[in-house]
Amino acid sequence: MAAETVTKSLLTVIGFLTGLMALLILRKLKNEDISMVKMRLKPESTIWDFRIISAANFLMFIGFLMYIAGVVFSNDSLWIISKAVGGIFGLMYAGVLFRWWRRF
């Protein structure tokens, strides 16, 4: 029981830190000159392409964490649902990421 609580707390902290990191990255991109970002990307790419890829990466990571939590705590029905939702979430955004990544 103690291991389950520690793991749930750890997953919560990891999710919070990942969200915070994503917000900091988006804030940095917002403050950065768009022309500087365009120089690093292909000419037809925009800053929004990069932001969508960053958001898809973040959502895939959250889906992966949900899936792992569902595998670790597979005896609880809530975690079975978490595993299913995390798997669907991760696969869905993997498709989004792949589609947008091909544009670069």
Model confidence over 1-38: pLDDT tens digits?
566 677 666 666 666 666 666 666 656 555 555 555 55
- pLDDT of amino acid 36: 54
pLDDT value at 84 more than 70 = yes
The domain in which residue 15 lies consists of 2-101
**85, exposed or middle or buried, with CB in 10 Å at 0-12, 13-18, 19+?**
middle
Q: Does the pTM of the predicted model rise above 0.85?
A: no
- pLDDT of amino acid 33: 53
pLDDT digits (tens, 9 = 90+) for 37-63: 555 555 566 666 677 777 777 777 777
**Domains of the chain: total:** 1
